């Protein structure tokens, strides 16, 4: 379950768009530039507790595992490289997961739980994009993946790309705010269907030496149903605050800090599992 929760949080973070410059204001969009390399380091610490409602309705072998308390540390490094602009005003873009480590800390013990995401290290996702943020997937290479995992990567990539495109908002000046709601649908073949709605409010705090400082607040709702069990439905909601440091000239998010709180319910007929997660995450980007 904690892998599913972490996946949801990763998606939420991914669709928090970065800003770009427009006249005397800053425009919040996520657009890559041609012939540029981006190196992104992401880290998060996730405190998770799980409790069981109506515990005596389930076997003792299940009941004795609750309540559960754990900490999951997640660290990733991502490379994004773009190529030359073509005559049709598009340019190639390649995403690669360089590093992925997930450590679970529970009962004074630490163990690696990152095998699933670790299999994606070295996989390259190739596509094309333009200066308006239109992004399309072309192919995967770098490492052989089972067909089902390829479908999951493609479905997630395309859904998040679509959400990032729809997250574009109007330019705002210092002290101004803008609120945007972004819907997201991710069908994960063979596993589940995920529906999400993220509402983000951006406030431009200031601009100094070409670097913009944003404060963010957001709320989100999520539902996921298992593909194989129509009666199994996960419901989640949460809120968060954050900060974005943005290089206006390079049009890149240099640093982002977020604090998240998420509450989730998972039916385990006739009982229900309640999950509460508190997350601190950060992202740092270097541009060459």
Tell me the domain boundaries of the chain: 2-287
* Dist CA 280 CA 26 (whole Å): 26
pLDDT band with cut points at 50, 70 and 90 for residue 4: very low
**Model pLDDT, residue 269:** 76
Out of 99-103, 256-260, 268-272, 277-281, least confident range: 268-272
Whole-number pLDDT of residue 267 = 83
Tell me the average pLDDT of the chain: 83
Q: What is the pLDDT of residues 191-208, one digit of tens each?
A: 667 788 989 999 999 999
Using pLDDT thresholds of 50, 70 and 90, give the confidence band for residue 1.
very low
The per-residue pLDDT for 153 is 77
pLDDT of 73 above 60? yes
Structure tokens at 53: 């409602």
Model confidence band, residue 74 (pLDDT cutoffs 50, 70, 90) = very high
CATH code of domain 2-287: 2.30.230
**With a threshold of 0.85, does the pTM exceed it?**
no
Higher pLDDT, 28 or 47: 47
pLDDT band at 6 (very low <50, low <70, confident <90, very high): very low
Per-residue pLDDT band for 239 (boundaries 50, 70, 90) equals: very high
Better pLDDT: 163 or 142: 142
Q: What are phi and psi of 57, to 5 degrees?
A: -90, -5
Comparing 60-74, 149-163, 206-220, the range with the smallest average pLDDT is 149-163
Q: Answer for the pair 8, 1: CB distance below 8 angstroms, yes or no.
A: no
pLDDT value at position 41? 96
98-107, 186-195, 239-248: range with lowest mean pLDDT: 186-195
């Amino acid at each position: 379950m904690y892998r599913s929760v972490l996946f949801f949080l990763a998606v939420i973070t991914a669709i928090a768009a970065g800003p770009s410059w427009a006249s005397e204001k800053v425009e919040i969009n996520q657009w890559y530039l041609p012939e540029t390399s981006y190196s992104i380091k992401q880290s998060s610490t996730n405190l998770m507790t799980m409790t069981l409602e109506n515990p005596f309705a389930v076997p003792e072998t299940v009941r004795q595992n609750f309540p559960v308390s754990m900490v999951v540390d997640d660290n990733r490094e991502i490379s994004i490289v773009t190529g030359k602009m073509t005559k049709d005003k598009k340019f190639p873009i390649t995403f690669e997961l360089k590093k992925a480590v997930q450590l679970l800390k529970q009962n004074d013990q630490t163990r690696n739980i990152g095998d699933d995401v670790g299999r994606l290290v070295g996989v390259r996702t190739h596509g094309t994009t333009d200066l308006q943020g239109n992004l399309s997937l072309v192919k995967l290479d770098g490492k052989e993946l089972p067909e089902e995992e390829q479908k999951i990567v493609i479905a997630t990539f395309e859904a998040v790309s679509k959400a990032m495109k729809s997250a574009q908002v109007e330019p705002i000046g210092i002290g101004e705010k803008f609120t945007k709601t972004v819907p997201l649908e991710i069908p994960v073949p063979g596993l589940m269907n995920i529906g999400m709605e993220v509402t983000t409010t951006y406030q431009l705090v200031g601009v100094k030496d070409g670097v913009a400082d944003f404060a963010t607040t957001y709320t989100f709702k999520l539902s996921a149903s298992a593909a194989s069990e129509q009666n199994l439905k996960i419901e989640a909601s949460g809120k968060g605050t954050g900060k974005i440091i943005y290089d206006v000239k390079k049009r890149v998010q240099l640093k982002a800090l977020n604090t998240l709180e998420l509450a989730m319910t998972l039916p385990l007929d006739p009982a229900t599992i309640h999950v509460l997660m508190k997350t601190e995450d950060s992202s740092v980007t270097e541009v060459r």
